Structures are given as C-alpha cells and as structure tokens.
Amino acid sequence: MQRTVIFDLDGTLVDSVPDIHAALDRLMATRGQPPFSREKVTRFIGDGVPVLIGRAFAARGLPEDPTALPAFIADYEAHAAVETRPFPGIPAALERLATEGWAMAVCTNKPEAAARLLLKALGLEGCFAALGGGDSFPVRKPDPRHVLATLEAAGGDAARAVMVGDHHNDIAAGRAAGLPVAFCAWGYGTPEMADGAPVAARAEALPGMLEQLVPR
C-alpha cells in the first residue's frame, strides 16, 4: 500500500509571511491603521484567514467588518507569490519523497483557491495528489476530519500516512486523525507546539524522519 505524507503549507512548505504581511498592511492602511511588525503577523497565522483578520482587527481595536475578508482575499490572491518562496531544502525533499514512492498532499487552513494559485506560481502544484484548503470542507484544522478528507482525496490510507506541520493545529489534527506526526522547526510555530512530536530541524531531514515514522 502506498505511503502518503500530508503537509501543512504556510510555515511548512513555503515562507509566505512576507506576502501575507504586505496584504494585511494594505488592508489596514485602507482603514487608516499603521502597519504591523513581521513578528506580530507571524503570530496571527495558523488558524485561517478569518481568524487572521479577526486578530488584526482586535489588535487595533477595530469592530468587525464583513467587507474585510473578501477584500483581503482578493488582494492577497493577486500578490500571493511576490516574495513567497519554498523554504530551503523543500523542493529537493519533495523530489526525494516522490522518488521513494510517497504520495503527497497539502492540508492547509488557507483558502483553497489562494493555495492553488500559490503552489502553481511556485511550480509545486504537480507534486501533490490532493489539496484540502480551509474552505474545501465543512471543517478545518485542528479538526481531524480536515486531515482525513484530504487523505481520502489523495487516495491514501490512515494506516500508511503521516502529517507534517509547524503549528499546534497540525500536530493536534494529525494525532486526532490517528496519524504519526512530525514538526518543522523552521516554521512559524513556537517550539512547544511540537508537543512531543519528532522535530525536523531542516527540510533535508524530512525524508529520513518520515521513513522511520512510516517504514516501507
């Protein structure tokens, strides 16, 4: 039975903070608000765009605005790959995993359309058998059904699959789905978010670590 690895996207495969940061600052500028620091925006990321916007508005003491979400998404999708790049070592790691017979999928809380646009722009779209975005299903991480639905779309089986991410949502969702998990130290999550999961310090370490978690 083929093995499947399910990856988070932002903070795991790609360093997308620069373009998310720029889009968020443009949104806030239209409301007369000053820009955020890069560190602050990094801490906003991980729970999907609606939560990102909610956190930004709360940080500036602004009331909820139903026009903010569609405005942000439209602007971000138009500029999603200006500065965003795969993390060092990720393209090579994906190539090695494919060579070793792994099927790969992406499970992200980013909206599906934005995720597909980004992967296509970076030349990574063809690496993945399925993409489960934050609006692809009725649930999103940390709900394990997001992971399981993405796994099913990729044609995988939970008995031969693993979840990889940089955020507590990834670790919690993967474990609740019954999968072994691996944590990416280079991402946006804090070290304690690994919660005892094996930690990959660099992308180059992933293939060997995944081999140990789901042996041939």
State the catalytic residues: 8
DSSP-based three-state secondary structure for 200: strand
Tell which residue, 122, 45, 127, 131, has the closest CA to residue 85.
Answer: 122
Instruction: Write out the DSSP string of 47-115.
Output: S-HHHHHHHHHHHTTPPP-TTHHHHHHHHHHHTTTSS-EEPTTHHHHHHHHHHTT-EEEEE-SS-HHHH
Half-sphere exposure of 202 (CA within 13 A, CB side): 5
For the beta sheet containing 161-165, the strands, ordered from the edge strand earlier in sequence to the opposite edge, are 130-132, 103-107, 4-7, 161-165, 181-184, 199-200
